[in-house]
Homo-oligomer: A and B are copies of this chain.
């Protein structure tokens, strides 16, 4: 008998998929003495473990048979109703029919690819943009049209040109974007909605960090502004935006719980994607999250998260200010989990990462976040995961790395 030639049997979409060089490099950061600013991990210190324990016991005692059984593809109805109430209170009015529960926002991104993308379709994205979305959609053969972004998010002055290509949809992360930390201004949000409507192109709004603002005023979500623009007050959202958010940053990512808000006919199609791809999200996890969150716990808990992350961001900024060489610049994010560093043109952050790993500190080079290529002189630095002391030590190590680089390269 002969060996199975597996690699020749893979589908076109899978033959293209490669593990990136960066991902391989970052595997080195799993060493225990490494200080990693590379991941996008929440601080484990803020996980509400006691509340989870109470909720697990309650759910198993009161309705264990239901919580451990198969559930519906749409998601646990009380959880969907709770999200609808919460969303109606703070943002756009929606009903449970506007909501699908997914196993993390990554799954929502995958389903959007599955639902909308034919091979070769164009998607408008910010540059830089979230890598997980590119990964999900490239599997469906997407091509990207990039719109440049600055500290106020996607520069809508360049959006109309992109829309004239005839893209399937526009993807935007308006709040404290991963990776750049930037926030889309109110004026640009309105311009985005107007242009999208004018060209009949839907918007995907990805908002994992919206509630994690550490300073300044909350800016209304794109989906809410779209609803206002449509002056639609019937309580069920049926506009031009698909909105994604998640419990990963508010409760804990290990549960894999997120949600999609969309017009009910789009939700119905997404439910069919859910059926074919994994039937439904864990009934148990949905019930546990519902029990933790239902009494308004999240309103209080998010204040704790904000204060912890704000301190970490401020410590990081303070040390960077103190010790980083002048060749390096960065932007102060108003919220979220990431800080965006910019090196001089021509300096490759991937090379700096290799040196940093020698000093036991890591970050993510920013090149791969740019689907249009280039911008290898950028870096994403996470500030949510490490404690202030670890941040001080890690940024010091990174500062030493940078000083060596600029010394060696003859920069001052």
User: What is A's interface to B at a CB cutoff of 8 Å?
Assistant: 1-7, 9-14, 17, 19, 39, 41-42, 44-45, 47, 49, 52-53, 56-57, 60-61, 64-71, 102-104, 106-107, 110, 114-118, 121, 132, 135-136, 139-140, 168-169, 197, 200, 202, 229-230, 238-240, 248, 252-256, 263, 265-266, 269, 272-273, 275-285
Residue A70 contacts which of B6, B39, B52 (CB distance < 8 angstroms)? B39
Give the shortest distance, in Å, between A172 (CB) and chain B (any CB): 16
Complex CA–CA separation, A166 to B114 (angstroms)? 27
Which chain B residue lies CB-closest to A286? B254
A80 to chain B, nearest CB (A): 17
Most chain-B CB neighbours within 10 Å: which of A17, A19, A114? A114
A252 touches B4 (CB 8 A): no
A104, B64: Cα distance in complex, Å: 19
A84 to B123, CA, bound (A): 42
Q: Are B104 and A1 in contact (CB under 8 A)?
A: no
Query: Are the C-beta atoms of B47 and A68 separated by less than 8 Å?
Result: yes
Of the residues B6, B61, B104, contact of A265 by C-beta under 8 Å:
B6
Interface centre among A116, A118, A240, A282 (most CB of B within 10 A): A282
- Tell me the complex Cα distance, A352–B276, Å: 27
Taking CB atoms, residues of chain B closer than 8 Å to A107 are: 277-278
In the complex, the answer to whether B240 meets A277 with C-beta atoms within 8 Å is no
Instruction: Output the least CB separation between A358 and chain B (Å).
Output: 25
B275 near A254 with CB under 8 A, answer no
Is there contact, CB below 8 Å, between B69 and A253? yes
